[in-house]
């Protein structure tokens, strides 16, 4: 079903085509599979018309947040829960009057989400936080029934720190995965995880600027936040240092146990990433003075719900966010 969906990208006049499909994550690490993690590599389509149309569509998206926000507020005032499907259904003529073509709405705008508009607002942007990678990801997921799909889409090539097993490419009839490929994958994954935690520890404890530069963006953001002078930064720093300790206790290279070891290490790093997102949203919400009591941040269900709503676009499970928030603020 996935490859059928990939092939349909061309039929819908997408400005890109898929060149590589890979898998990674828990589907390669054990019998209890959580999300199914796919790596998708895209490259520009040979369809010049589709590429030029996409550029014109993106130009029209510039400064469109005011329009979408007005439509969202209008739906809320009428007692509806705003969604892009509802906006396209009720206000299609208004969108066309703004300059969006029918083909743009049917092919691309349908994949926009309300939280893309909200994220643009949170970031102070005049346009939704939306790109072709999100279009491809949501198109592939559309109609899927089964375990949760976690899809990362990259242009042209996959960054070196992303480890995966290739299962299909546009130049080969088939890709055969050998046992040796899996062993190399586990070792490479372990090495990458350890490099991230090592750079994180150096940046956080030793103020090593070079180590911070080598971190993925989400973790370098955590370092910057943890150096701020407020109660939230202190909570974040304490939490991350504890997670680094947990990581070091579990980290070891063992071919027989590498699948389960990598799963534990990856979950620890994911918790650190989630804690950074929580911090980011709380700072952007500007409510620290309201939730701080006697030098502490008070965890409440209301606070959790406010943060969770702002993290919907990150494909995180509700209980994951709730657990990390409790560990940060109740410990």
Write out the DSSP string of 32-75. Answer: S--SEEEEEEEEE-S-HHHHHHHHHHHHHHTT-HHHHHHHHHHH
Strands 165-169 and 149-155: unpaired
> What pLDDT is recorded for position 201?
93
Cα 297 to its chain centre, rounded Å, is: 26
> What pLDDT is recorded for position 320?
92
DSSP 184-230: HHHHHHHHHHHHHHHHHHHHHHS--HHHHHTS-HHHHHHHHHHTSSS
Nearest to 240 by CA among 110, 331, 144: 331
Q: What is the pTM of this model?
A: 0.70
pLDDT in 10s for each residue of the chain, 331 residues: 455 445 444 445 789 999 999 998 877 876 566 678 899 999 999 889 999 999 999 999 988 988 999 999 999 999 999 999 999 999 999 999 999 999 999 999 999 999 898 888 877 878 888 999 999 999 999 888 888 888 999 998 898 878 899 999 888 867 888 888 888 898 999 999 999 999 999 999 998 999 999 988 878 888 888 888 888 888 899 999 999 999 999 998 777 788 888 889 989 999 999 999 998 888 887 766 666 666 677 788 888 888 998 888 787 889 999 999 999 988 6
Q: Are 37 and 152 in contact (CB under 8 A)?
A: yes
> What pLDDT is recorded for position 275?
94
Give the CB-side neighbour count of residue 59, counting CA atoms within 13 A: 8
> What pLDDT is recorded for position 59?
93
Instruction: Count the residues in the chain.
Output: 331
Cβ burial, residue 235 (10 Å; 0-12/13-18/19+): buried
> What pLDDT is recorded for position 4?
45
Cβ burial, residue 5 (10 Å; 0-12/13-18/19+): middle
Cα separation, 62 vs 99, whole angstroms: 12
> What pLDDT is recorded for position 54?
94
> What pLDDT is recorded for position 119?
84
> What pLDDT is recorded for position 9?
47
> What pLDDT is recorded for position 113?
92
Cα separation, 37 vs 48, whole angstroms: 31
> What pLDDT is recorded for position 295?
62
> What pLDDT is recorded for position 74?
93
């Amino acid at each position: 079903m996935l490859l059928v969906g990939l092939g349909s990208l061309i039929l819908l006049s997408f400005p890109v085509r898929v060149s590589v499909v890979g898998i990674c994550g828990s589907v390669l690490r054990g019998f209890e599979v959580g999300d199914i993690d796919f790596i998708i590599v895209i490259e520009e389509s040979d369809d010049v018309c589709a590429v030029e149309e996409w550029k014109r569509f993106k130009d029209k998206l510039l400064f469109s947040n005011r329009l979408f926000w007005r439509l969202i507020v209008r739906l809320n005032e009428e007692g509806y829960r705003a969604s892009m499907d509802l906006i396209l259904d009720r206000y299609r003529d208004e969108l066309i009057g703004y300059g969006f073509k029918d083909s743009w709405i049917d092919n691309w705008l349908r994949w926009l989400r309300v939280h893309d508009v909200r994220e643009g607002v949170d970031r102070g942007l005049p346009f939704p936080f939306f790109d072709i990678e999100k279009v491809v990801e949501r198109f592939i997921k559309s109609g899927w029934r089964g375990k949760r799909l976690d899809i990362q889409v990259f242009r042209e090539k996959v960054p070196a720190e992303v480890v995966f097993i290739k299962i299909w490419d546009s130049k080969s009839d088939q890709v055969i995965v050998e046992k040796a490929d899996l062993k190399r994958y586990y070792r490479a994954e372990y090495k990458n995880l350890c490099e991230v935690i090592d750079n994180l520890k150096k940046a956080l404890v030793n103020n090593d600027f070079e180590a911070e530069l080598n971190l993925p963006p989400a973790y370098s953001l955590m370092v910057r936040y943890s150096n701020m002078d407020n109660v939230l930064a202190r909570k974040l720093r304490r939490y991350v240092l504890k997670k680094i300790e947990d990581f070091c206790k579990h980290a070891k290279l063992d071919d027989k146990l590498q699948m389960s070891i990598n799963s534990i290490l990856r979950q620890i790093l994911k918790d650190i990433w989630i804690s950074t997102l929580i911090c980011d949203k709380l700072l952007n919400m500007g409510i620290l003075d309201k939730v701080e009591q006697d030098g502490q941040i008070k965890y409440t269900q209301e606070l959790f719900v406010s943060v969770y709503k702002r993290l919907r676009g990150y494909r995180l499970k509700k209980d994951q966010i709730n657990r990390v928030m409790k560990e940060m603020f109740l410990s």
